Every structure is written in C-alpha cells, then in structure tokens.
A and B are shown apart, each in its own frame.
Chain A
Amino acid sequence: MIAELGLAVLWMAAALAVLQLVAGALALRPQGAAMRGVVRPVAVMQGVLVALAFAALITLFITTDLSVKLVAENSHSAKPLIFKIAGTWGNHEGSMLLWVTIMSLAGAFVALVEKRLAENTLLATLAAQAFVSLGFYAFLLLSSNPFARLPQPAPEGAGLNPLLQDIGLAFHPPTLYVGYVGLSIAFSFAVGALITRDVGPAFARAMRPWVLGAWIFLTVGITAGSYWAYYTLGWGGWWFWDPVENASLMPWLAATALLHSVSVLAARNALRAWTVMLGVIAFSMSMVGTFLVRSGILTSVHAFAVDPARGSFILALLAIYIGGALLLFALRAGTVTEGARFAFVSREAALVFNNVMLCGILGIVLVGTLYPLLTEAFGVKVSVGPPYFNPVSAIFAFPMLVVMAVGPLLRWKDDRGGRVAPILAVPALVALAAGGAALAAGVRLLPTLGLALGAGLAVASLLPLRGRNLRRTPLPIWGMVVSHLGLAVAAMGMASESAFSIETLAALSPGETRQVGPYALTLDRIDPVAGPNWTALQATVSARYAGGEADTLTPQARVFANPPGTRTESALKTRWNGQLYVVLGEEAQDGRWQMRFWWKPFVPLIWLGGLLVGLGGFLALIGRVARDVKRLVAIDKIAFRRERQGR
C-alpha cells in the first residue's frame, strides 16, 4: 500500500512540475498575468509531495517490505536500523529519488524565501527549475521506478554491499547530493536571467547565497567522502582520482569559480556573461558526474548497476539541458551588456585569473576522466591515474595559490603592485623558509612547492584582517579569511602526506615488534569477534610513540554474511602531529600475520583544512543572509509607516 501511495504521489509531483513549467512560461507574457500567483505555491506543493514519496520509500526500507523489488535487492531484515535507513539511497533508484527530492525541495525553498530577485526573473527561474526536474522525474518514473513490486515477495533481502555498511553512508551521499543538486538553482537562475536579460548586481546578490549554500555542502561532502574512503578502503590513500571522486571535484571547481565571479558581479557589475556561463557549467558538471556514475560506463565502487538504457537516458538529458542552456547562452550572451572595466592589477583581475586557473584544472580533470572512455571507443584500454592528475593539475593550482595570497589585498578596479608588495614580504619569507627547509630535507619538487605555497598562503590569508577592528569585521570577510586559510592548511597536509609518509608491510607473529617511523608497534594477539551482522578477526596492537605510553589499536578483517563479502576495518591513532594507520591482512602459511602500517605526519590537516573551507563559506552565508533579512525588515517597516501615513 505504501509503495503504491509513494508512486502515486511521485506522479502527482511530476504533474505539478509540468504545471509549474507551463504556468511560469505563460506568466512571463503580458496576457498571462493571471498565472503569476500560481507558480510559487505549485513549486512549494511539488516539494512537499516529493518529500512524501521519499518518506514512503524510507518507510519501506525500515519495515523491510520484501514485496518491493528495490528493498528485496538491497536490504536485509537483520541489518542495523541506521543502515536500513541509509540503505534507501545506497542503490541506483533510491539515490535518484533522493536527487529529485532535493531538487524539488530546493525549488520549493526558492519559491518560499526568495524576495530580492525581480519577479519576472524568479518566474523564469522556477520554470527552468521545473524543466530540469521534469527530466529527472521522467528518468525515475520511466526507467528507475523505486516502488516496483515483485510478483512474489522475496523470502529474504539480498542485503547491502559491506563497503557501504558504514556510518559514512548516512551522511556522505545526502550531503554531496544537496551540493550537486543545489547547483541546479544556480543553473536555473542563470537560465532565468538569460530569458529576462536581467543580469546585474541585484541578480548576483540574489544568486550568491544559493551558490554559497550548495558550495558549502559540496565542500563538506567531498571532505567527508575523502576521509571515509581513507579509513574504509584500507589503502592508506585519501584521494584516488577515481572517476567518481573526479565527478564530485569538477562541480566543486566550477562552483568555486562561480562563487568568486558572482562576487565580482555583485560588487562591481563586471563579468556578467562569464558568471552566467559558470552557472550553466557548474550544474552541467553535476549532471556529467551523475552520468559517469549512474550509467555504469565507468567502473567504480560507486557504480551501482550497469544498464545501457539508463546511460542513454541520462546522456539524452545531458544533451537537452546542457545543449539547451548553451544554445540560449549563445543566443543571448551578445545582448548581455558589457560590465564595468578594470585594470590588469586589481582585485577583479586576480579573481579572473583564478577563475581561469580553476577552469583549467576543471578541464584537466575532465579530459583525464573521459580519456579512457574515448580510447576504449577505439579498442584501446587505458587507465589514467595520479602520475597524470597530480603534476598536471599542480601546474594550474600553484599559480592559483600565489594569486590567492595577493588578490584579497588588492583594491577593486585599479591598484598598484608596489602598494601591496611590502605587505606581502612576510608571507613571501615564510614561503621561502618553508620551501628551503623542505628542499634541505630532500623532499621532492611538488610537495616542496605545496609546503612553501601552503605556508605562505596561510600567513597571507590572515592579512586582510590587518588594521581592522576584529569585532566589527563583517562576517563575509571572516568567511573569506577562514576559507583561504583552510585551503592553505589542506595544501600543507597534502604536501606533508606525500613527502613524509612512512609505509611498512610486515608479517608478524604475536609478540613481535616492528618500528614504523616514531612508533614501536607490537602485535599482541589475534582474536575472533562478532558484530550484529558480521564476524571478524581482530588484531590487538600496542603502539608506543617514541618510547612513551602504549596505545591499543584493534584493526579488524570483517566477514559479512548478507550479502557475502569482506571488509578491512583499519585502526587509526591520531596525534597532533600525524596519524598512525594499521591494517590487518591475511595469515601467512607459517602462522605469521600480514600487517600494513603507515605513519602519516600531519595528514589530518587535509580534512581539517577542508572543514575550514566549508566553515568559511558558512560564516559568509550567515553574514549575507543576516544582512538581507535586516534589509527586508527595514523595507517592511518603511512600507508599514507609509501605509499608516496614507491613512
């Protein structure tokens, strides 16, 4: 019953999306004024209905309704409750429903709270949002129905992939999806503004919080996903250049560029066409990512099912939306009047430079991700990995870090390099000292540059605060400082991980000790242990840092029954100056146990930095929204006073 209700509600929501599109399009015409009041309530109602459909699917997973195909194929009655819930989106159909749910809720949210945007542009935006949603409704209802029943209820569910039975599944996909799909708002804003030809500072100020919101979720989602992969995969790496990781990185790069260009548009009325273009590209990258992941054309732990029909469907959606938006852009870009000009040494120019660098990295990642597909069409199988991505993206990333240090200190419109040079002496010296020390320690070129630029940028990122009253510094300035500092911290963590990691592979008998960097590690014993739906072998390892007190680590090799599968559970010990990482392997023939140890100095800085970047975005968002709310309240007061005087 719940499955049929869920499906019915989903169809109704799709019908409302059609209404939203038609009403929005009609309302833009002079004779369609009657439709103007319809669009917002329909958008809100559509969001509510989809949320109900999603709640229905979660209910089916919680109660493990085995007559529903999706539940039978992906869940199991003996699974812990949290994984039953999270398992709702741990499969193709459920994750697409989550996608549509977030997309419609985002549209509903815009319809509810967006007050600054010109009414016509808002109507066009909501119509565009409905148009995009419709494609995904069609995909869901026609080729990926999550509510399909089985002819015969299954006796028991097939269970969830053990790799996904982790608390990370509860947070990582929804966070990333909010980011991906939140960018659809930026896309719809861009399309709406192209339709009404209303691109200017007011449009940028209205668009900025939405971009910022999506970008924060993307940042946090990527950071969390990286940490999740680091501790569950047991390979000791934090970024694999896996196609799916790239699929999340590309929208982030585009959204970062968009965030900065939208600020230029808001403050200086420049970069008009460029901003609109980035709005289109950012969500296009989200959709390309979805295509790569969900079509199964690339192999990855993230690919749920290989189904060519679904791939073609998403490819068609891509062609319609990206092609359509680019066509609209080509037709209208010429009529978007040129914005204000600026000199080559100015804050705008620095932002443009970094926009181009971000797009360069985006291009590098996109080409590297698609290249194996391209060659496979000619029958040649290749894979592209870190030897390509690391140095080639660094060529663009390093100049970007330098300009990031300088840009925030420059004035808008026009400035002299000589004015900021003395201010930058301190960070430049810090960078030289760090780089010199790293070179002297025999660190390779790329990590040396990373350490030097990270250290220099960390200092330089604080400089915009100099001479300011810290209590009166606006939150958006704090946000910029914290985000830039976060990126510097993350860069230092990455460089340190790549320069100083120590890896040891050993076969140990119980009682044996091995030295790994500053740690003396003793394998005490191996015991069998059991969890709710798994059994495991657990090693007990005593770790002494530089001869100090022993910490106990317990890495496990888990065996799952439903579905059958295994997973290594690494054990971590975090100190202020790094992290110890221990993995238990197999028993060798002679009774010794294979163990893998890493000592990774300062590796937590990578994720700490990522979280700081997200926190900076959050501060900026609070600052912007607070200012808007204040403004709206003031406008209301004036209107109220006028009304009273009028009487």
Chain B
Amino acid sequence: MVEKPKDVDIGGKMPTIEVSHQDLCRLVGKSIPINKLKEEGILFAKGEIDEAKGDLLKIDIKDTNRPDLWSTEGIAREIKGRYVSGGLPRYKTKKSGIVVKVDKGLKGIRPFTVCAVVKNLKIYDHSLSQLIQLQEKVSVTFGRNRKEVAIGVYDLNRIKPPIRFTTVKPDGIKFIPLEFRKALTPRQILKEHPKGREFGYLLEALPEYPMFIDSAEEVLSIPPIINSEYTGKVTKETKDVFIECSGFNLKFLIPALNVMVAALSDRGGDIERVRVVYPGRVLETPELEPKAFELNLEYLNTVSGLDLSIERACRLLNQARYEAKPSGKRIKLLYPAYRQDIMHQRDVVEDVLISYGYNKIEAVIPKLATVGSQNPIESFSSTVSDIMAGLGLQEVLSYILTNKKNLFEKMNLREGGSVEIENIVSANWSVFRTWLLPSLLEFLSRNKHVEYPQGIFEIGDVVNLDNREETKTKDTRKMAVALTDNVVGYEDISSVLDSLLRSLGTEYKLNRIEHPSFIRGRVAGIFVRGRKIGFVGEINPLVLEKWDLEKPVVGLELDLQGLVS
C-alpha cells in the first residue's frame, strides 16, 4: 500500500501505529485470523492494515480526529463491539486524594493541566510499548506536536504529593532529564537534550518555563519537553502511574487524558481522580461519565440511503460502543467520554454505517441530468497548445512559485510588485511568478547540453497584485515561447507569433517598444484591438549572461485571456 496521497490528505497526517496481533486478539477476547482482520475487522476501527510481518501489524488509522483509536486498546474496543460484545464501555473511578496545585504564573506560558492516577498496572512489553506509542501519537497528531497537548506519565511511587504545576527560570533548578546522567538547567536541556532541541522552540521565547515539581522539590518534568529520569521513567516494574496533560485549552486536554486512562483501564488498571486546584477553581479529573446524545431515525435513513428499522439501528450503534435505546422515532444515546468528535447527528450516522460495513452497501452511481463543460480559458489554452505543438515546439511545465532574482534581476528589470510568501521552505520558492519568460529561460539554462535547435513554450497562470480584486491579486493565463540556436533572430519568433494569430483569426499589430529584457530596437509590443497583450523580441545579451546562456534566444509572451476577451 502506498502512502496516502497528500493531494487528498486534507484532514492532517494520519497516524500509523504498530500492534501485536496476539495482544490485539487477547484484548478483543477472541482469536481473529489476520486475513479476516484485514478484510473486515480493522475497518470497524477506521483502519487499514498496511503491513503484516509475523505478529507485528502496521495499521493506518484514517481518522485524525479520533485519538481513542490510536492504540491496540482502542482498536480492540471497536472490534470487540462487533465480534464479541458491544454497548457502552464503563469506566469506574475513585478518589486518589492527590492534589495538583496550579500557579497563576502559568498564564500565558502553559496555563492548563488535567491529571489522573492509574493503579495496579501489570505492565509487560506490549502494554509498555502501547502506552508510549499512544502518548506519542496523541501529543503529536491530536496535541499539534505537543503544542496543544503534552502528556507526562510518571512512577507514582517516586512522587511525594502534593504536586505543583509552576514556572521556573531558564537557569533555575537543575535536574537529570530522561535518558541522561547529569543534571542540567532547563536552558541547558533545551540546548543539549535531543527532545530539547526538537521541541525547545515552544518555550525558547518565554521568560519562564512550565514545571511539575513535588513537595520534596523533586522535579517531575518541564512540559512539553522532557520528564526527569527519576520520577518520569516508567518500566515493567512500575505498578502505579501519575499522568498529566498540559496545554492551553481544556477542550484538547480532557479528551487526551480520557483516551490515556481508558487504554490503561482496558488492561486492568484502576483509575483514580486527582484534584487540580487552580486559583479560584477546582477540577476533579478524569471525568469519565458517558455523554448523552440523540439521533433521529428518519435523519439516519435520509443520509444513509438505507431503510433501517429502529431496532437494527440501535443494534448497529451498540456494536459501535454506544448505549442506544429507542424512544419513539428517536434513539437516545450514551457515548464514552474518550470521544470528543461528536458534534452533530451526522457524526453518529457514520458510526452506524461503519457497523453496517461500507463494502456491504450497494453503491449507486447518481443519475443526474447535467451538462458538462470546460472553462472557456481551458479549452482555449488546449487549442493554442495544439497549434504551438504543430509548429514543432515542445511544451514545458514550470512551478508557479519562483524568486525575485529570477523574475526581475536576471531579466534586467527593476524589482516590481509580487505576491510574497512569509513562511518559505526555500528562498528558491518564495514569490509567485508575475510573468512566464523567466521560467523558460531557466529551462533553457538547464538544457545547454541538449541537441539544438531548441524551441519551447509554456501556457500557465501568473499572479499580479491588483488592489481592486477581492483577493488583492489577479491570476492571468499566459503563454510564452522561447527559441534558441546558433543563429536565431527576430524574424523566427515573429513568424511563430504570426502563424499562431493567423490560425486563431486574430488581427494584430506590432509596434516598437522598450523592454529591458530585450535588445533595443528588436522588441515589439503585440497589439490586438488597440490593447497591448504581449511582446516579442530578441533577448538582451545581458540577460543571456545572467542565465549563463551562450546562444541567442528569441522569445514572446502573450496574455491568452486578452486574446479571447
């Protein structure tokens, strides 16, 4: 299976997770052959098995908005609902008595945290790697690469509560970060620790950094960078863990925490609540009470195109881990607290359809009486391409992004206005082209070793600033031609122009103009119905030098929109 094409990948990068087949079947409570999993089972978790090597499955989860699916535990919940037993998964919690105190100094730095305790874990290889993987996926994909959500997991028995969520000066307390042997200041960690270098940009500009620290002044972590080696290391010997999620918005933090504790609970852990004390406000987390929703049966059938009875719909929803009860023509629903993606009945409809099975539904090609048409400028461009190819010229295609040097300096022009990108990836691709000929000269400069004569053309869009437009810019469809050989002159390119315009039945006039990219006295403006729509001439040797071209070049550029309108 090939990587998901980015041109249809609008929802963000989908997570790929590694799962042990045996571990998955154990959590489902039923042995499912890999083939059956591939063909059907995994589809219930919006997944696709990308690779199966022995016991190891690589699974793409196609939903970037369902962090609850990004672990073996989450996948198992969905498959169990369809193959073993469905209904709402219930999560019991009790008080841990642990308090986390949040300093008001965190405002503007990393203001929020929600926390939990999970006890009596039996951590073994799979559960440990799943815990780390889920923590990673949630903070990268759902947590916007730790910006919105950073997750810390600690060995509870090494912490002396109460815990403080506070701030620290960059050169404040030293502690040993995870996987290191010597104690470093937070500023040193940002510079020296691999995670510091990777995520340091999230803190760098701040006067103080966020920090979790316990009552014995033992540092837990500086989120979102790194835990301490002493408290923040979870191993197979760890029995009880403390989990915190920190960030800027409870809407992200609460579901992230719920996803984490639900997964640990599915492996037999006991969830306990933590009191998070803010200045003037107390949260008790995790909050795992199921949420209520309603689905209208008629709406379900209208959107799905299926004629489902209310009983059938409820059964399909129970398989999708809802608690669904008919109430007249409506279905009363409870859904688990780890889900944060349900905003509208539509979201529930999809879950019904997934339970039903997308591939069991008859696909109906819509029979609508519509008349197809191309945009006139596209069909005109096509006609012009055919004429140009008929003249023996090779069509080329360039990027629209370029740089000012190519557009202006190398064309012997003073810098003009152009659309400029702020967050460039490379200076080579930093502005939108305002005309086409530079693209063609660049093309020729890369083909000096190729057989001559060379004749090329391009039809494409350019963007120019235009304050009258809604987008302050205007796209124009243009065509440019360039010819080069040991001997080539004005008459060669003007005859190309003439054959094109005669073929199109367009009357035109050539008038002498000045254009610094061309040789003085060998450049003309192309006028149609009194309006200048382009220019044609011999390229200035100064320009040839700048492009490192050693043979004469003649060229033309034409506004195709100006030709039709």
A joins B in a complex = no
> B interface vs A, CB < 8 Å?
none
